[in-house]
Amino acid sequence: MNKRILYFIQQAGSLMQMPRLHKRSLGTTFDTVASHSFHVAIIAYCISRMEKLSHQDAAKAMFMGLLHDLAEARTGDLDFISKNYSEVDDQKAIDDQFAGIDFGVDLKNLVNEYEDRKSVISKCAKDADSLEQMYQEWVLVWQGNKIAKEWFEGDFVYRVPNLFTKSAKKLALEMKKSNPNQWWWAEFVQKGINYKHLTG
């Protein structure tokens, strides 16, 4: 067996234990690099389909979402402040991460396509990365985090206008008009499906 595959799996697993560094600025965050990547993948698929991409292309965007921060198993996560002062050799981390694995070149090509940001698929995946960050802030806003509120409102000035896709912009605006619990409230309360649970 190629031990490089086991080591690769271990690296991915380490991201489940790595809190994202924005915790020092936002305080009450709840995400890890792994949970962030999972959510990016789901959002990337949704944006891609909203942009009329095929299931196959959307699945590729989803895959990019899963892999886009994998190099942080080696480089660590840098927050908005740190990125102004630190330089990380992401490409070396990517090259080293996939070296010696038979299928490594396929994964490396996906990550590099994401980083190049030239294809429509990669742009959908990057928009998903941005929206997932906004989601974190949005949840914290509804939990009373005033710092997250400033970030979230600032996103509509500095982040949303620069999103690549119309679909991502629409989702951001819908997010702003809703709340993080709207999905189950709409389904189980407003439709009356389980209204009896509220009345005993």
Question: Rounded to two decimals, what is the model's pTM?
Answer: 0.92
Region 146-166 average pLDDT = 97
Q: What is the pLDDT of residues 77-113, one digit of tens each?
A: 888 788 889 888 999 999 999 999 999 999 999 999 9
Looking at the predicted structure, is the pLDDT value of residue 151 above 80? yes
Total domains present in the chain: 1
Domain span at residue 15 reads: 3-199
Region 15-23 average pLDDT = 88
What is the gyration radius of the CA atoms in the chain, in angstroms? 19
Region 62-69 average pLDDT = 97
Q: What is the pLDDT of residues 175-186, one digit of tens each?
A: 999 999 999 888
Region 61-69 average pLDDT = 97
Region 66-85 average pLDDT = 89
Residue 195's domain is classified under what CATH number? 1.10.3210.10
d(CA 64, CA 51): 16
Give pairs for 44-50: CB < 8 Å, separation 24+.
Answer: 44/124, 44/125, 44/127, 44/128, 46/128, 46/171, 47/124, 47/127, 47/128, 47/131, 47/165, 47/167, 47/168, 47/171, 48/121, 48/124, 50/165, 50/167, 50/170, 50/171
Region 127-154 average pLDDT = 96
